[in-house]
Amino acid sequence: MKKRVLFIDCLMRGHSRTHLLSDAFFDGLNKDRFQVHTLKLRELDLQPLANDFYAEREELLAAQDLDHPRFQWAKLFAASDLIVIAAPFWDLSFPSLLKMFIENVCVEGITFRSDETGLHGLCRASRLVYLTTRGGFIETGSPLEQATPYLKALSQLLGYGEVITIAASGMDVQGYDVKNALRQAMAAAKKTAEQISAE
């Protein structure tokens, strides 16, 4: 049986550079072994958890009604073997569209559970690959890069295992060899997918 990949496409514009990284990743992924389900966040009618939308969620969770359609993305996330996120680097992190999606995914009883010993992840995945491009020279691990630490912390809650970040930085720096930086990141993305395919 093919392994299930959830591709969370948080690309925000037509001529996205980050798109090149996700294309390279899926180029390297063995399609005989992996079945990819893509969610284009720009096309989902995502809304912030507020007002009636918030109240409805509280009521559904109180009634333990987890079959409601609004929980479909949480179920998909929990059942996937590999999560891939492509999102540009915005405001030291990622676009709010992705945070709204995450709000939909963090559902007690689907992606995590709690008991007297704490919170326990319920996700099947053992790995999340995060692909991004950054305008400035901000490297993964810099205090100014808050997307990777957040995704790692979230894995403590949801239990999707290790987070692999592949990034190209300096995209908006004048005079920088952007093409070369992108080429290197694309090669890293493809190689990572080939390694995952070979496991």
Task: Determine, following the binding rule CB under 6 A, whether residue 171 of this chain makes contact with ligand FMN.
Answer: yes
Find the shortest distance in angstroms from Cβ 162 to ligand FMN: 24
Listing DSSP states for 53-111 in one string gives HHHHHHHHHHTT-TTSGGGHHHHHHHH-SEEEEE---BTTB--HHHHHHHHHH--BTTT
**Helices 18-28 and 178-198, packing angle to 10 deg:** 30
Q: Which single residue brings its beta carbon nearest to ligand FMN? A: 135
Binding mask 50-89 for ligand FMN (x = CB under 6 A): --------------------------------------xx
Q: Residue 34 or residue 137: which is nearer to ligand FMN going by CB?
A: 137
Site for ligand FMN in 8-37 (CB under 6 A): 11-13, 16-18
Q: Residue 146 or residue 197: which is nearer to ligand FMN going by CB?
A: 146
**Contacts (Cβ under 8 Å, ≥6 apart) of 4:** 34, 35, 37, 79, 80, 81, 82
Q: Which residues bind ligand FMN (CB under 6 A)?
A: 11-13, 16-18, 88-92, 133-136, 138, 171-172
